Amino acid sequence: AEETLRQAQKMEAVGHLTGGIAHDFNNLLTIIIGNIDTVTRRLDSSSDPRAKRSLDNALKGAERAAALTQRLLAFSRRQALDPKRTDIARLLAGMSDLLTRSITETIAIRIHAPGDLWNVEVDPHQLENAILNLAVNARDAMADGGNLTVEAHNLVAEAGNTAAFVEAGHYVVVSVTDTGTGMTPETVAKVFDPFFTTKEVGKGTGLGLSMVYGFAKQSGGYVHIDSVPGAGTTVDLYLPRAADGEAEAAAEESVQAIELG
Ligand code: ADP
């Protein structure tokens, strides 16, 4: 619990800080991009092609920086969740094209969800984002190819049968597994820290897993990482089961009855 609090405070502080900086940067980059655009349009066919190429490069750099600040802004805002009863099997099926396009040809992907999967109560867009983040990390860990598995299953957690970090209850566990580089325990200990990244500048922000962590916590769930250097990584998202349909309908009815009565 203390670890969770520390992590939440860190995210809060980073959120405030990056929000302000990213906002100002975004404005400045808009000015830079606008001006490059103006100059580019003023160049005519007789202009030095090297000048045009330099401007192109400057534009590409500025646009990459703008994309990065957009991600920082999204992180700092961490839009309020809009939880809905969500069918994860359908959500995964809907993501299959996107996931396939996000990986490389040398990676084989398998998506599996059983037919009797429970519903969960989460923000479906944020869940898609989280899964996409995990898939991209998996891809980056498998530069030489490998297997990516996205799988979901029901779990009844009781004292003694499940990892200690999970409170007793019903969960749908979404697992993203890769056969990539894996991580040392020292790295695993740092991956939820905002801005922790081992990727080169411009490739990673170090915000992906912090966002996944924030999403899971805000949804009343957990994230757990199992990683073996040289063998691969599994990230498990534990998402609390939604109150079942019948119970929910009954509860709604009784609320109406009270209001009417
Ligand atoms: P980013 O992907 O921008 O670096 P993340 O927070 O998503 O930010 O990940 C932080 C770091 O954790 C990565 O730079 C990488 O070192 C490590 N990591 C995350 N996922 C994996 C994975 N599936 N396999 C190996 N390392 C990983």
Would the ipTM clear 0.95, i.e. be above it?
Answer: yes
Greater model confidence, 154 or 244 = 154
Spell 151-163 as b/e; 16+ CB within 10 A means b.
Answer: bbbebebeeeebe
Task: Look at strands 146-157 and 120-122 and give their pairing.
Answer: unpaired
**Integer angstrom CA distances of residue 18 from 8, 73, 174, 202, 207:** 15, 7, 30, 16, 11
pTM of the model: 0.75
Helices marked H in 82-142: 88-102, 124-140
DSSP 8-state code for residue 195 = T
Give residue for tokens 């990244």. Answer: 197
> If you take atom 17 of ligand 1, which residue's CA is the nearest one?
191
Residues 86-98 pLDDT 10s: 999 999 999 999 9
Ligand 1 atom 8 nearest Cα? 206
Distance 209 CA to ligand 1 centre (A): 7
- Amino acid identity of 212? V
The pLDDT tens digits for 187-238 are 999 999 888 899 887 677 788 898 898 889 889 999 999 999 999 999 999 9
| Spatial contact of 251 and 128, defined as CB atoms under 8 Å apart | no
